[in-house]
Amino acid sequence: MMEKILKASVRTESGKGVAKRLRREGKIPAVAYDRTGKSTLLVLNQADFVKLNKDVTESTIVTVDADGKDFEAFIKHIDFDILSGLPQHVDFYQVERGKVLRAKVSVVITGNPVGVREGGVLETGITEIDVECLPKDLPPVIKVDVTNLGANQAIHVRDLDVSKDVKVHTPEDSVIAVVKFIRSDVPETPAEATEAAPAEA
């Protein structure tokens, strides 16, 4: 996986006036929080961040280069402008290199199940997997291919193909996807048959 790097500058000024000025200049005010709650004020280039944000998820670790001093972090929250849709403020959560972290990784379903092509309906279950690993081993998403899923078959957490370096905390019997097949050729009940029979003259 290619490393995601974002250039930033450390700022000392804060407040609404400063934030508005930065946005007019094509920049985004941001804050990086570490595990102790300590915060660092940052400035991002808007165009650079918009480009990077198209290719990351909530569990993607980004290397932020702040005036030559870099750190790894998740993008924790983004405030968007209602009209333009452009990011107005970004919060980062720093992670420590070499230390195990716990995070939730999104599940991405791919493929068209055999069971659906035969008339079944695909239903999805949990959408995130709770994992524990080193920052470098954290997957941005967990892809689940349902192509071979037949009628009345399911994929559970225990069926996932994840790295041996990633510990999964989500219960292994949790359902990720299932194809349900509703038969249309169910025999009539005696009551239904009686109602359908024509009356004798």
Q: Between 164 and 200, where is the model more confident?
A: 164
Alpha helices in 25-172 (DSSP H): 46-53, 114-117
**H or E element at residue 18:** helix 16-24
Task: Give residue-wise pLDDT tens across range 92-117.
Answer: 999 988 889 888 899 999 999 999 99
CA-based angle 144:149:155, to the nearest 5?
50
Of 107, 162, 173, residue with least CA distance to 133 = 162
pLDDT at 186: 53
User: What is the DSSP code (8-state) at residue 185?
Assistant: -
Task: Give residue-wise pLDDT tens across range 168-180.
Answer: 999 999 999 999 9
Of 15, 125, 4, residue with least CA distance to 59 = 4
Q: Domains in the chain, please, with CATH?
A: 4-95 (2.40.240.10), 101-180 (2.170.120.20)
Q: How far apart are CA 56 and CA 1, in angstroms?
A: 11
Query: The whole model's pTM is what?
Result: 0.68
Q: What are the DSSP E strand ranges found in 111-166?
A: 121-124, 128-133, 141-145, 154-156
pLDDT class of 133 with cuts at 50, 70, 90: very high
Task: Give residue-wise pLDDT tens across range 35-82.
Answer: 888 899 999 999 999 999 998 888 888 999 998 889 999 998 999 999
Burial of 32 (0-12, 13-18, 19+ CB in 10 A): buried
> Cβ(87)–Cβ(50) under 8 Å?
yes
List 40's β-bridge partners, or say none: 32
pLDDT at 201: 43
What are the tokens at 21? 């000025």
Alpha helices in the chain (DSSP H): 16-24, 46-53, 114-117, 190-196
pLDDT at 195: 54
Whole-number percent of the chain with pLDDT over 70: 90
Sign of the alpha-carbon torsion through 137, 95, 79, 24: negative
